[in-house]
Amino acid sequence: MTAPTPRSVVVPYITARRGEEPEVAAKLGLRSGGGLCYLDEGLGDRDDQGVLWARCSQTHEDGWPIGSPRWSMVHPSRQRETMQGLRCQVCVVQTASRTASGYLFIAARPKDTTKADWPEGALTWQPPLCLDCAVIAVEQCPHLSKAGPVALRARVPRLYGVLGTLYTTGADMRPVPVVVSDEAKDIPLPYKDHLLRPWFLASQLVRELRGVSVVDLEREIATARA
Ligand SMILES: [Zn+2]
């Protein structure tokens, strides 16, 4: 009898790789009217809402990221690309699975069980997935399997804001990061916050899931293959 071959570990497109480095903070400056800028800012450094994005190098081979994965980190540009375009965060070649119930997301059940409305209105910075990759994510992602993965469909995954780092003016008139608690690091900045937006260096795009229903992934796959 032959032992089953373990499925090879799939590294999602958005996962950061060793060798990909954030750009040094020395490239950041202050705008004359207040707020952050790059000293050599160019097209693509800001999103449609005018928020500045963290720069990070990319190592590609034939269009695919290479280097060993840094599992707990995502690459800002690749996360933004998939979340903005609603493409699969694992394979990127597929658009996210979409049915009449909406786009497919996989979420971890929140620790805070007092959120009675969850998952309606949930904020997520995990881009959506195609069906095939959703199965892989549930099988292989240790964070998801520990928390209990929940497959969701959202009819309206609207753009909400960004995760990242808030800056202020330092003593030498250079931008310095505002020190925040670990909990506060996971609180997204809504795009509607016009006051703080110019001072934010974004690293992940956040969507607010509306019109959400919890779905059975196995049933979804069976339906898709029928
Ligand atoms: Zn995929």
Question: pLDDT digits over 111-152, tens only?
Answer: 776 677 889 999 999 999 999 999 988 888 766 666 678 999
Distance from the alpha carbon of residue 126 to the mean position of ligand 1, in angstroms:
13
Range of the domain at 132: 15-112+119-225
Handedness of CA 138, 212, 78, 60 (dihedral sign): positive
Residue 5 inside a domain? The answer is no
Q: What is the DSSP letter of 163?
A: E
Residue 1 inside a domain? The answer is no
pLDDT at 121: 94
Distance from the alpha carbon of residue 153 to the mean position of ligand 1, in angstroms:
16
Distance from the alpha carbon of residue 218 to the mean position of ligand 1, in angstroms:
16
Residue 9 inside a domain? The answer is no
Distance from the alpha carbon of residue 130 to the mean position of ligand 1, in angstroms:
4
Residue 164 inside a domain? The answer is yes
Distance from the alpha carbon of residue 94 to the mean position of ligand 1, in angstroms:
5
Average pLDDT over residues 1-27: 78
Residue 46 inside a domain? The answer is yes
CA distance 70 to 154: 29
Residue 156 inside a domain? The answer is yes
Domain count, the chain: 1
Quick: pLDDT tens for 160-187: 999 999 999 988 889 999 998 888 888 9
Residue 32 inside a domain? The answer is yes
Q: By C-alpha distance, which of 66, 65, 75, 225 is closest to 135?
A: 225
Distance from the alpha carbon of residue 136 to the mean position of ligand 1, in angstroms:
9
CB-CB contact of 162 with 196 (8 Å): no
Distance from the alpha carbon of residue 49 to the mean position of ligand 1, in angstroms:
28
Residue 8 inside a domain? The answer is no
Distance from the alpha carbon of residue 95 to the mean position of ligand 1, in angstroms:
7
Pick left, alpha or beta for residue 99 (phi over 0 → left; psi -120 to 50 → alpha; otherwise beta).
Answer: beta
CA distance 90 to 15: 9
CA distance 87 to 96: 5
Distance from the alpha carbon of residue 96 to the mean position of ligand 1, in angstroms:
7
**pTM for the structure as a whole:** 0.91
